[in-house]
Amino acid sequence: MSEESYPAELRYHHEHDWVRADGDEAVFGITWHAQDALGEVVYFEPPAVGSRIEADGSYGSLESVKAVSDVIAPLGGTVTAVNDKVVESPELVNESPYADGWLIRVKLDDPAAVDGLLDATAYQGLL
Amino acid sequence: MTSSLRRTPLYDRHEELGARMVEFGGWEMPVYYVGINEEHRAVRARAGLFDVSHMGQLEITGSGAEALLRTALASDIDRLDEGQAQYSFLLNEKGGIIDDLIVYRLPDKTWLLIVNAGNIAADVAHLKGFKQRGAVVTDISDATAMIALQGPVALDLLADVWPKKTAAPDTLKPFTIVERVVAGVPCRVARTGYTGENGVEIMCAADRAGDLWDGILAHREHGVVPSGLGARDTLRLEMGYPLHGHDIDAKTTPIEAGLGRFVHLGRTFVGSTVLDKQVAKGVKRQLVGIQLLDRAIPREGYPILKDGVKIGTITSGTLSPSVDRGIGMGYVLPVHAAPGTTLQVDIRGRERDAEVVPLPFYKKES
């Protein structure tokens, strides 16, 4: 299990998801808090590469032994890649929620919308 | 919300161990300490120590005790000698399962029932409702605690905290109970459990539970780990053991649940006429084990389908840590109940292929 952290270089959605944006390219994942609440992740059901995802909509699901959780898209766009390593080894989400445990890559519809998300301090204020 | 939840005498131990606590049957219980999978594997490979003090303990005493239990229980208590136990059921008139339990025959015409935490009040009311002359039903749940030590090394560990002049724990036969001083604490030690592993369930006075817990955990060299209700649930599900309120309830009978071998047919007890009829004429639905062929996890409430038509509902499910497959149980029409039958589970809108498999899901390598 990883240590609790909320990296300053990421942006956050109140449903406990993070975004690492670079221009119109972005990587999505779930926060340390989300993986801790879920417990050991045993299954990731990803979206199809090429599929459209809507901001605030569910793009897949993560399951622990005890529970299922929808994963919420912080921003809208088109899925360009899925982290197959997490599909194979879902526990990466617990071990490394911000690096090896990323979930999908997305081409953003509106890169400027990143500014509407929470910074690390504001997100931690919700916890 | 949490203020209304009850706590076991070991609550402080769970807090110190950093357990994640959840509500279960009105109790605040540890779901895991480190992780469900790790604890599950420890129990299969070595040993786990569970606080199951939330379980109910009822003593039946008096000259009418046997007469009450002959009528109220679906098993045959006359087959029990002192120190022996049976898995059994309290049924309603329709054969529905009010509770499943273990009945122990103790010395001095005393009987002990270990019942589900959420059913204690209903069980006591039901038993007292017989108004059996000479039978006294005493709920000793609050005064007692229970710890389960389960796993391949459980009895070896127990030997380290066992009175030296008595026969070693591994001489205890399954489904027997003895009184022993364990780790300095007077206990009832039963060779029973809910994991499919060798092990014991140990009962003691509530105010001595901490000493018993600490005394066992002092022998960590055996590889024993504190284990929560999460692992308890995945362990029992791998064995196909039903959980009351989920896989069985007051609307399902032991015959429908595939538990007929624990019922003594041909005897007269509450609900027996319905069970006799079901055995003679067949049941309309049957509890089966379902294993997913796709990589997906069935959960309670998910529809079971055959060729697009709903034929049943999952009553409990999980990802099996031992089999590494989604497993679950559910009721289907008998025509679909044969092992090898292919069907589907509707997992949040997607039909996933599955098949009926014989229980248990997990069989120990021997």
Q: List the domain range (segments joined by +) for residue A79.
A: 11-111
Compute the mean pLDDT over every residue in chain A, rounded to the nearest whole number: 95
Q: Is A65 in contact with B319 (Cβ distance < 8 A)?
A: yes
Instruction: Tally DSSP H helices, then E strands, for chain B.
Output: 8, 19
When pLDDT is cut at 50, 70 and 90, the band that residue B236 belongs to is very high
Pairwise CA distance, residues B192 & B260, whole Å: 20
pLDDT in tens, B196-215: 999 999 999 999 999 999 99
Q: Measured in whole angstroms, how far is the alpha carbon of residue B26 from the centre of its chain?
A: 17
Q: Region B115-131: what's the mean pLDDT?
A: 97
Same domain, B182 and B290: no
Q: Which of A39, A40, A63 sits opposite B297 (nearest CB)?
A: A63
How far, CA to CA in Å, does B203 sit from each of B38, B127, B153, B154? 26, 22, 20, 16
**CB-based contact B10:B51 (threshold 8 Å):** yes
Residue B250 is assigned to a structural domain of this protein: no
Chain B interface test: which of A40, A41, A43, A95 (most B C-beta within 10 Å) = A40
Same domain, B26 and B156: yes
Give the tokens for residue B194. 């809910």
Q: Which of B203, B238, B273 is the last residue of a domain?
A: B238
How many percent of chain B have pLDDT more than 90? 96
Q: Is B319 in contact with A39 (Cβ distance < 8 A)?
A: no
Measured between beta carbons, which residues in chain B are less than 8 angstroms from residue A1? 35
**CB-based contact B32:A39 (threshold 8 Å):** yes
Q: Region B165-186: what's the mean pLDDT?
A: 97
Give the tokens for residue A25. 């390219």
Angle at B198 between CA B28 and CA B261, to 5 degrees: 90
The 3-class secondary structure across chain A, one letter per residue, is CCCCCCCCCCEEECCCEEEEEECCEEEEEECHHHHHHHCCEEEEECCCCCCEECCCCEEEEEEECCCEEEEECCCCEEEEEECHHHHHCCCHHHHCCCCCCCCEEEEECCHHHHHHCECHHHHHHHC
Q: Does A68 touch chain B (CB under 8 A)?
A: yes
Give the tokens for residue A63. 């399951």
What is the number of other CB atoms lying within 10 angstroms of the CB of residue B138? 14
Measured between beta carbons, which residues in chain A are less than 8 angstroms from residue B328? none
Residue with tokens 């030690």: B189
Q: What's the confidence (pLDDT) of residue B21? A: 94
| Min distance B237 CA to chain A CA atoms (Å) | 12
Measured between beta carbons, which residues in chain B are less than 8 angstroms from residue A40? 35-37
CATH number of domain containing A52: 2.40.50.100
Measured between beta carbons, which residues in chain A are less than 8 angstroms from residue B296? 43, 45
Q: Does B164 touch chain A (CB under 8 A)?
A: no
Residue A4 is assigned to a structural domain of this protein: no
Residue with tokens 């000698």: B81
| Min distance A40 CA to chain B CA atoms (Å) | 7
Same domain, B41 and B153: yes
Residue B79 is assigned to a structural domain of this protein: no
When pLDDT is cut at 50, 70 and 90, the band that residue B147 belongs to is very high
Q: Which of A1, A40, A43 sits opposite B297 (nearest CB)?
A: A43
When pLDDT is cut at 50, 70 and 90, the band that residue B82 belongs to is very high
Using a 10 angstrom Cβ sphere, with 0-12 exposed, 13-18 middle and 19 or more buried, the burial of residue B256 is: buried
| Min distance A49 CA to chain B CA atoms (Å) | 18
Q: Region B128-153: what's the mean pLDDT?
A: 98
How many percent of chain B have pLDDT more than 70? 99
Residue B214 is assigned to a structural domain of this protein: yes
| Min distance B115 CA to chain A CA atoms (Å) | 24
Compute the mean pLDDT over every residue in chain B, rounded to the nearest whole number: 96
Q: Indicate if the pLDDT at residue B366 is higher than 60.
A: no
Residue B103 is assigned to a structural domain of this protein: no
Same domain, B146 and B233: yes
Q: Which of B175, B207, B238 is the last residue of a domain?
A: B238
Give the tokens for residue B306. 């055959």
Residue A27 is assigned to a structural domain of this protein: yes
Measured between beta carbons, which residues in chain B are less than 8 angstroms from residue A42? 37, 297, 319
Exposure class string for A20-55: b at 16+ Cβ within 10 A, else e: bbeeeebbbbbbbbbbbebbbbbbbbbbeeeeebeb
Number of domains in chain A: 1
Same domain, B146 and B232: yes
Q: How many CB pairs under 8 A join A and B?
A: 36
Q: Is A68 in contact with B319 (Cβ distance < 8 A)?
A: no
* Preceding peptide of B360 cis, ω within 30°: yes
pLDDT in tens, A89-127: 999 999 999 999 999 999 999 999 999 999 999 999 999
**CB-based contact A29:A10 (threshold 8 Å):** no
When pLDDT is cut at 50, 70 and 90, the band that residue B3 belongs to is low
How many percent of chain A have pLDDT more than 90? 95
Same domain, B233 and B169: yes
* Cβ within 8 Å of A, B 33-52: 35-37
Q: List the domain range (segments joined by +) for residue B219.
A: 2-52+142-238
* Cβ within 8 Å of A, B 57-96: none
Q: Is A66 in contact with B230 (Cβ distance < 8 A)?
A: yes
Residue A63 is assigned to a structural domain of this protein: yes
Residue A23 is assigned to a structural domain of this protein: yes
Give the tokens for residue B13. 């131990």
ipTM higher than the 0.90 cut: no
| Min distance A43 CA to chain B CA atoms (Å) | 7
Q: Indicate if the pLDDT at residue B2 is higher than 60.
A: no
Number of domains in chain B: 2
Helical packing angle, B36-45 and B229-238, nearest 10°: 60
When pLDDT is cut at 50, 70 and 90, the band that residue B25 belongs to is confident
Same domain, B233 and B298: no
Residue with tokens 């909320």: A6
**CB-based contact A60:A46 (threshold 8 Å):** yes
Residue B12 is assigned to a structural domain of this protein: yes
| Min distance B84 CA to chain A CA atoms (Å) | 35
Residue B278 is assigned to a structural domain of this protein: no
Same domain, B163 and B14: yes
Residue A116 is assigned to a structural domain of this protein: no
Residue with tokens 């219980």: B29
Q: What's the confidence (pLDDT) of residue B1? A: 47
Torsion over CA: B213, B215, B216, B220 (sign): positive
* Cβ within 8 Å of A, B 206-225: none
Parallel/antiparallel/unpaired status of strands B20-24 and B27-32:
antiparallel
Same domain, B297 and B234: no
Exposure class string for B230-251: b at 16+ Cβ within 10 A, else e: bbbbbbbbbbbbbbbbbbbbbe
DSSP secondary structure code for residue B365 in this structure: -
Helix (H, G, I), strand (E, B) or coil at B139: strand
The residue type found at B125 is A
Same domain, B229 and B307: no
Parallel/antiparallel/unpaired status of strands B47-51 and B224-226:
parallel
Measured between beta carbons, which residues in chain A are less than 8 angstroms from residue B32? 39
Nearest to B69 by CA among B106, B21, B35: B106
Pairwise CA distance, residues B157 & B174, whole Å: 17
Measured between beta carbons, which residues in chain B are less than 8 angstroms from residue A45? 296
Q: Which of B238, B254, B272 is the last residue of a domain?
A: B238
Contacts of A22 (CB under 8 A, 6+ apart): none
| Min distance A28 CA to chain B CA atoms (Å) | 22
Same domain, B339 and B213: no
Q: Does B32 touch chain A (CB under 8 A)?
A: yes
Q: Region B342-355: what's the mean pLDDT?
A: 95
CATH number of domain containing B171: 3.30.1360.120
Measured between beta carbons, which residues in chain A are less than 8 angstroms from residue B318? 65-66
Residue B293 is assigned to a structural domain of this protein: yes
pLDDT in tens, B103-113: 999 999 999 99
Same domain, B155 and B232: yes
Q: Is B296 in contact with A43 (Cβ distance < 8 A)?
A: yes
Measured between beta carbons, which residues in chain A are less than 8 angstroms from residue B325? none
Exposure class string for B319-347: b at 16+ Cβ within 10 A, else e: bbbbeebbbbbbbbeeebbeeebebbbbb
